[in-house]
């Protein structure tokens, strides 16, 4: 499976956009990019996933570069409740199983 | 929808004792996952069921761990005998398509 590289931590001001980067330079053509987050003491929560096109839902946007070697998760208007660890995961199918969680990025949203 | 239900939420036991963790997946979901999270190793997938059948148990650490899914609405993870290094938060997750829904976790402490 392809591995991902994320910065260990980031800060963001409340109300501003949070842009979380992820490198997955060894991603294969059939591997999807998934994002989950884990708020303190809770189970992880699915955010979004994509293959090669940009995706948007009610929580976030996912921008995948044309060569698919990296992606960015965008929280358009971060709130204090978005403070969490964000995990970028590549997965070999659209079924979302066999997820391998790395260290993630600890996002701190500050007032 | 009550979400994924796990019990107990907290378990403290002595080394050598048997521990059974329980999970009720979301109704209609056909895949179930058991994960373990520790500070040292992060979030690890232990075992994955599809339609009540174990598909991949390569993450189960050793023979002391066993998991069953006797029907679509119930799964157990058993540790016998337990050891202090088994102390962790154990999460159960279920899915129907690509999105995994995690339960609140069981915090296990083995003394």
- How far is the C-alpha of B99 from the C-alpha of A105, rounded, in Å? 20
- Residue B94's SS3 state is strand
Candidates A1, A42, A59, A97, partner chain B, best to mutate (most B CBs within 10 A): A97
> Which residues does B contribute to its contact with A (CB < 8 Å)?
4, 31, 33, 42-45, 48, 50, 55-56, 91, 93, 95, 97-105
- pLDDT tens readout for residues A66-102: 999 999 999 999 999 999 999 999 987 666 677 889 9
pLDDT of amino acid A94: 62
Q: Above 70 in pLDDT, residue A1? A: no
- pLDDT tens readout for residues A7-41: 999 999 999 999 999 999 999 888 899 999 999 98
- How far is the C-alpha of B85 from the C-alpha of A102, rounded, in Å? 21
Contact B102 A99 (CB under 8 A): no
pLDDT of amino acid B107: 98
pLDDT of amino acid A97: 76
Listed as ranges, residues in chain B with pLDDT below 50 are none
- How far is the C-alpha of A75 from the C-alpha of A66, rounded, in Å? 21
Structure token digits, residue B88: 């962790």
């Amino acid at each position: 499976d392809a591995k991902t590289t994320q910065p260990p931590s980031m800060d963001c001001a409340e109300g501003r956009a949070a842009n979380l980067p992820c490198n997955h330079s060894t991603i294969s053509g059939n591997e999807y990019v998934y994002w989950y987050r884990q708020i303190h003491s809770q189970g992880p929560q699915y955010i979004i996933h994509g293959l090669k096109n940009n995706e948007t839902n009610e929580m976030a946007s996912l921008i995948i570069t044309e060569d698919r070697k990296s992606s960015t998760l965008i929280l358009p208007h971060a709130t204090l409740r978005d403070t969490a660890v964000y995990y970028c995961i590549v997965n070999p199918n659209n079924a979302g199983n066999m997820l391998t969680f790395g260290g993630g990025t600890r996002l701190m949203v500050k007032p | 929808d009550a979400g994924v239900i796990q019990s107990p939420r907290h378990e403290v036991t002595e080394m050598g004792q048997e521990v059974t963790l329980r999970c009720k997946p979301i109704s209609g979901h056909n895949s179930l996952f058991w994960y373990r999270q520790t500070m040292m190793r992060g979030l690890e997938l232990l075992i994955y069921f599809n339609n009540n059948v174990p598909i991949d148990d390569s993450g189960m650490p050793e023979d002391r761990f066993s998991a069953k899914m006797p029907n679509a609405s119930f799964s157990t993870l058993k540790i016998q005998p337990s050891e202090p290094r088994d102390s962790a938060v154990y999460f159960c997750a279920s899915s129907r398509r690509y999105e995994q829904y995690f339960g609140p976790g069981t915090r296990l402490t083995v003394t």
